[in-house]
Amino acid sequence: MNIQAHRKDEHVIIAEKLYQKEAANDLEYVELLFDSLPELSLEEIDISTTLVSRPISAPFFINAMTGGSPETGKINRRLARAAADNDLPFATGSQSVALADPSATPYFTGARQVDPNGFILGNLGASHGLDSALAAIDMLDAQALEIHLNPAQELVMPEGDRSFYWQKNLSEIIAGLPVPVLVKEVGMGISPKTLRKLQQLGVSYVDLSGAGGTNFVAIENQRRHEKEFAFLQNAGLSTAKALLAAQQFAESFSFTASGGIRNALDIVKCLVLGADNVGISGLFLHTLIKQGDDGLDYLIKNLKVQVAKIMLLLGCRNITELHQEKYLLSDQLLSFKKQLSN
Ligand code: FNR
């Protein structure tokens, strides 16, 4: 097995080893106000929304993780099965390994075989140009492509990139791809510095992918002999901070929130803070590994009902009403928000 395929196996093993239930995504510092006289019934609540402007029936999806080796190919098929059975979009992990070595292609295309008509997002890093992006969506017959920005991960990865001239690739991919592009981080949060550049490049869809869940600095640091990058593990914007920082760009982008989403209340808080939908990786992988296919199916079905129940408690009929819902911030988050606008 080549080094890239082997790395995919390591990522899954280390992500699961480091998986923690304790959320540090700062969403606990966002408070919502419930209404004990909602004058609503559960069947009136509409949890549908959009992802890259396509209608989706629930406000969350299975976000990018894996593929490229026999083991991760099996995981992809199982995740795709759970997505198909529950009408959720599904994103594969980076397809770069299959572009370099076509023998790895079945470990991605298996997901499409599971769900010939499903909403599947491909995934590549921003070091790739338009030709690779076209090949990636062709491989999966994908409805959209995620492009990940991960300079911190690359710099901590022993064999990672050391040069980051990515803007030209991004603008060519946005202009030349026949499907929408969702630009994402991998758990460090996309800051207003980057959002300003993405605005110039014509990007419309951004997954903020904040800190507080899967942490790729920690994962890559585990793969180093000396493990000398521990100091960077708490860097980046938490999911709540990334969402607050992104609010000033609400007119320019449709936002996906991700990073440490653990339950339905996390999902609803992200939507109240302005996200149109929420991506979940670590929690779904952990559930699949620990509780199998039935456990993952049960979790997804439960999340849908629980999101609707929380919306009812807030008195919100749909996601548009959630976007207008009032929220309160802890002093720390309020100060963060105020300093951003200075
Ligand atoms: C990821 N993630 C990821 N993202 C990406 O764009 N391309 C990739 O190949 C991968 N690979 C990957 C492997 C594994 C095992 C995990 C758990 C995650 C990052 C993922 O899409 C997401 O941005 C972060 O994991 C934060 O979300 P969670 O995991 O905290 O819900």
| Spatial contact of 323 and 80, defined as CB atoms under 8 Å apart | no
Inter-residue contact 315 to 35 (CB < 8 Å): yes
Q: 147: Cβ below 6 Å to ligand 1? A: no
Q: Is the CB of 316 under 6 A from ligand 1?
A: no
Q: What is the mean pLDDT of each run of 10 residues along the chain (342 residues)?
A: 86 90 84 97 98 98 97 98 98 98 97 97 98 98 98 93 97 98 97 97 98 92 89 91 98 98 98 98 97 98 98 98 98 96 72
Atom 2 of ligand 1, nearest CA residue? 65
Question: Could you please report the per-residue DSSP string of 156-215?
Answer: HSTT-------HHHHHHHHHH-SS-EEEE-SSS---HHHHHHHHHTT--EEE---BSS--
DSSP codes of every residue in 90-118: EE----HHHHH-GGGTHHHHHHHHH-TTS
By most ligand atoms within 8 Å of CB, the mutation choice from 205, 207, 214, 261 for ligand 1 is 214
Q: In terms of DSSP bridges, do strands 30-32 and 327-329 run parallel, antiparallel, or are they unpaired?
A: antiparallel
Helix pair 264-272, 239-246: axis angle to 10 deg: 20
What pLDDT, on a 0 to 100 scale, did the predictor assign at position 20? 76
CA separation for the pair 244, 327 (Å, rounded) = 12
pLDDT given at position 21: 55
Q: Is residue 123 lining ligand 1, measured as CB closer than 6 Å? A: yes
Cβ–Cβ under 8 Å, residues 203 and 255: no
Q: Report d(CA 226, CA 214) in Å as an integer.
A: 21
Tell whether ligand 1 has an atom less than 6 A from the beta carbon of residue 186.
yes
DSSP code per residue over 250-317: TTT-EEEEESS--SHHHHHHHHHTT-SEEEE-HHHHHHHHHHHHHHHHHHHHHHHHHHHHHHHHHT-S
Give the global pTM. 0.97
Distance CA 342, CA 339 (A): 5
Residue position matching structure tokens 């990940």: 148
The reply to whether ligand 1 has any atom less than 6 angstroms from the CB of 189 is no
Q: CA-to-CA distance for 283 and 289, rounded, in angstroms?
A: 10
Cβ–ligand 1 contact at 285 (below 6 Å): yes
Res 234: pLDDT: 82
Query: What are the tokens at 87?
Result: 């009408």
pLDDT for the residue numbered 22: 60
In the CATH hierarchy, which fold is given to the domain comprising 3-340?
TIM Barrel (3.20.20)
Q: How far is the CA of 32 from the centre of ligand 1 (A)?
A: 28
Task: List C-alpha distances in Å: 238 to 48, 208, 242.
Answer: 26, 10, 6
> How many other C-beta atoms lie within 10 A of the C-beta of residue 50?
14
Provide CB contacts within 8 A for 24, sequence distance 6+.
211, 212, 238, 260
Q: Which of 14, 6, 140 is nearest to 71 (CA)?
A: 6
Report the DSSP pairing between strands 49-51 and 54-56: antiparallel
Closest ligand 1 atom to Cα of 64: 21
